[in-house]
Each structure stands twice: as C-alpha cells, then as structure tokens.
Structure 1
Amino acid sequence: MEITLVQGDITQQQVDAIVNAANSSLLGGGGVDGAIHRKGGPEILAECRALRAGHYGGGLPAGQAVATTAGRLQARWVVHTVGPVYDRARGQELAGVLASCYRESLRVADGLGARTIAFPAVSTGVYRWPMEGAARIALGTVREAGGALRSIQEARFVLFDGEAFGVFQRVWHELLHGSMVD
C-alpha cells in the first residue's frame, strides 16, 4: 500500500473512502466533521441517524469506525471514526485509542472494497492532540496495517494547512529513514 501526503481540503478528494474525524454523536459538528456533513449533504446525516437509531444508540465509541454513504462528495463512502480527546496524563492509553481509529477505518474501508482512502489528522483540532505525536501514531499505524489489507492500494493523508502538512512530511521522512537503517 502506498502512503501519500497532500495539503488540501479532504472534502475535495477523489477517493473511494473519506475518513471523517467525527464526534461520538455521528450527527455532525465542527472542523472536518462539519465540512464533510455540509459538502456531503443530507444523505450522510440520514444514514448517521439510522446508525444512532440502531446499533450505535449511545454513539460511536472512540477508536471505532463505521461507514455511510458519501452523499455528494467525490467518494463512495465516508468512514466515521471518533478520536480521543488529548489528555497528557493518559497519553499512552489514549495513543492506543488514536491508533485504533486508523486501524479500524482501514478495516472498514477494506471490507467495503475501497482501493483508496483519505485520512485527516484525527484528534488534532478541537480534541487538541499535538500534531507531531498524532502524525507519528497515524503514519506508523497505517504503515504497519498496510500488509494485512486486501483492497486498499493508497492511503492518503490530507492536511488542511501548511504547518500540519510540514509536520506530517517531516515525520514520514523520519519513519522512512528509520526503516532504511533497520
């Protein structure tokens, strides 16, 4: 699986699956979540409401993922995942939850037959996860999971601004360099 990094708007990506950094209610919010719901249209919200009326009545737990239609987005599916709110005192425990967001999103998208998937930097906005730590978890987890996937050929990280893109680019370079030394 190829891992790519781009700076841009995740709602403009032409991929099979777009990952939504959702809140547990699945009913939209701010940041990436709000943008995906706005641009994707009411079809996404309708499927999210159906999920809430069924198996996810209490909301989607952090670290899990579930798919809906992509509505009007240039994708087939939206994979919703809920990242953890950063808490320095629980950093190691929560790092596992953040890693699970990426693993579970890949698992769900792979199960749907997606060949391409676009990720935002989950938990780095209002959930306050430090960008460098989030980049290490995201890139490392996706890289490790790549060999177990059947259909996904490209995992694309879509970073909204130049600062986030630069951090992800530097961390990715460090991860690649480290693997060449091993």
Structure 2
Amino acid sequence: NLPSSYVLHTVGPIINGPLTQKDCDLLASCYSSCLRLADDNKLSSIAFCCISTGVFRFPQEKAAEIAVEIVREYLHHDTGIKQVVFNVFNTKDEMIYHALLD
C-alpha cells in the first residue's frame, strides 16, 4: 500500500573488495536511469533509498556523494521532476545526507 503510482526498481553494484571506479559508475547509472525513467513517465517526484549500501557493502559516504551529485546534475537540465527524496536507513545515513545537502 505505497502512496505512489509507480515503483522503479534498480539493483546497484555489490562490493566484494576495494571500491573501484566501475562500482562508482554503476551506482551513478542506477540513479540517472531512474531519473530518466521518472521523467519519461512524467513523474514530478521520486524517492531513493541508499542504493547498494547495507548488505551490498558500498561505502555510505561515497554512495551518498554519488547520489547527490547525480541528482543535482540531473535537475540542472530540463526536467519535470520537482521533488527528490532521499530515504535513509539509519542515523549515520541521515547525518551524511544532511552534510551533503546543507
């Protein structure tokens, strides 16, 4: 019973060793693909969880930096998206996103 019309599903990279540029590029692609899909479907808002953190072991700080960078970049272009929500898993994630967005 989600209060939304659509659910966009993406699977981010699983980290099994040192973080690589390819991992970062794959995570960035998850965010940009969802933003494009939301725009293609004329959605005005989108919410993201902390993709690939947790059991997929992507470092929280780097994942948040990528998420915020991709969203900011995307919103500078012509888009119908008016609201982006970052839904965090825990207090540490919340602190990271507040620091990046303030």
**TM-score computed with the length of structure 1 as normaliser:** 0.53
The equivalent of 1:83 in structure 2 is 12
The percentage of aligned residue pairs carrying the same residue is 36
Q: RMSD of the TM alignment (CA)?
A: 1.4
* Shift of residue 88, structure 1, vs aligned partner: 4.4
The equivalent of 2:77 in structure 1 is 148
1:25-70 deviations in Å (ceiling 9; x for gaps)? xxxxxxxxxxxxxxxxxxxxxxxxxxxxxxxxxxxxxxxxxxxxxx
CA distance in 1 between counterparts of 2:18 and 2:78 reads 33
Aligned letter for 2:30? C
**TM-score computed with the length of structure 2 as normaliser:** 0.92
* Shift of residue 90, structure 1, vs aligned partner: 4.9
Matched, 1:117 2:53: no
Higher alpha-carbon Rg: 1
Matched, 1:97 2:17: no
The equivalent of 2:66 in structure 1 is 137
The equivalent of 1:21 in structure 2 is none
Structure 1 stretches lacking a partner, 5+ long: 1-71, 174-182
CA distance in 2 between counterparts of 1:88 and 1:169 reads 28
Give the total of aligned pairs: 102
The equivalent of 1:19 in structure 2 is none
What SS class does the counterpart of residue 80 from structure 1 fall into?
coil
CA distance in 2 between counterparts of 1:149 and 1:102 reads 17
1:133-179 deviations in Å (ceiling 9; x for gaps)? 10100001111111234211011101122111011111233xxxxxx
Q: Which moved more, 1:77-86 or 1:145-154?
A: 145-154
Structure 2 stretches lacking a partner, 5+ long: none
Q: Would the aligned equivalents of 1:132 and 1:171 in 2 still touch at CA under 8 Å?
A: no
1:93-134 deviations in Å (ceiling 9; x for gaps)? 110000000000000011111101110010001101111010
- Runs of 4 or more above 6 Å deviation: none
